[in-house]
Chain A
Amino acid sequence: ETGVTQSPTHLIKTRGQQVTLRCSSQSGHNTVSWYQQALGQGPQFIFQYYREEENGRGNFPPRFSGLQFPNYSSELNVNALELDDSALYLCASSFGRANEKLFFGSGTQLSVL
C-alpha cells in the first residue's frame, strides 16, 4: 500500500451536479497531482498542487478546480458534470514538484448519468 487514500471509492452523480473528491497524501509529501483515467485509456494530467498552490494544469476546463490544505491533503471539485466526466480519478502524492517518485491512490470511480 502507498499510504495515499482517496474517498469515496465510488460515486454516482447526474449531469449538471457538482462533485468533490478527496485525497489524503502520504506522510511527509507536500505535492499532490490529480489524473483522470477514462475507460480503456491512460491517465490524463488534470493539475498539481505544491504547498497549497496550483503548480501546473493540463488541458481541462475551469469547471475542474482543486484545493490543497495545510496538511497537504487535497480536493478535486468538478462543477456542471457532463457524461464524459465519467472516469476513474487518481490522486498521487510526492515530495517536491518533479515526478521522480509518485505514489498513487486506488482512485475514485465517478459515474455520471
Chain B
Amino acid sequence: AQSVTQLDSHVSVSEGTPVLLRCNYSSSYSPSLFWYVQHPNKGLQLLLKYTSAATLVKGINGFEAEFKKSETSFHLTKPSAHMSDAAEYFCVVSGSNDYKLSFGAGTTVTVRA
C-alpha cells in the first residue's frame, strides 16, 4: 500500500518570494509521484510527475519537485510566487501501472500582495 503525508495544511507567502510545499511518501516499491493543483471551481490539473527517471522534475508554471528516496520526500518548490498560484495543492502517489491515485490531504496556498 502507498500513501502520502502533506506536512503543511496551509502555506502563506508574499508575492515574489519562494514557495515550499512538503510531502513525504510511503510505498512498498518504486512509486510514481505527482503534484496536482486545484483552483476554485476548476478541475485538478497535473503540475508534474516523477516516474523513476531524473530525480529533479520540472513542471508547468515554474514549479519543480525533487525526489529523495533516502528521505522518502517529494517536496514542491517555486522560486517566486505569483498571485495566480493561490490554490489547493495535492501530493499524489501511485504504484507503477496502478489504476488508482492516492491523494494527500492537500495544502492551501495563499499569496499576499
Q: Which residues of A contact B (CB under 8 A)?
A: 2, 4, 33, 35, 40-45, 48, 50, 55-56, 58, 90, 92, 97-107
Contacts and interface: CB of A to CB of B under 8 A. Distances in A.
Interface residues of B, number: 22
Contacts of A56: 99-100
Contact of A99 (B42, B90, B101): B101
Interface string B73-113: 00000000000000000100010111111111110000000
Interface of B: 32, 41-46, 49, 51, 90, 94, 96-106
A71 B45 CA distance: 24
A52 B12 CA distance: 44
Contacts, number: 63
Contact of B43 (A2, A50, A58): A2
Residues of A contacting B: mostly: loop
A100 B103 contact: no
A75 B84 CA distance: 33
Contacts of B97: 97-98
B99 A102 contact: no
Given A33-B100, A48-B99, A58-B100, A99 B32 contact: yes
Q: Which of B96, B99, B101, B104 has the most CB of A within 10 A?
A: B99
Given A99-B99, A100-B49, 14 more contacts: A33-B99, A33-B100, A35-B103, A41-B105, A44-B103, A45-B100, A55-B99, A92-B44, A97-B97, A99-B94, A99-B98, A100-B51, A102-B101, A104-B43
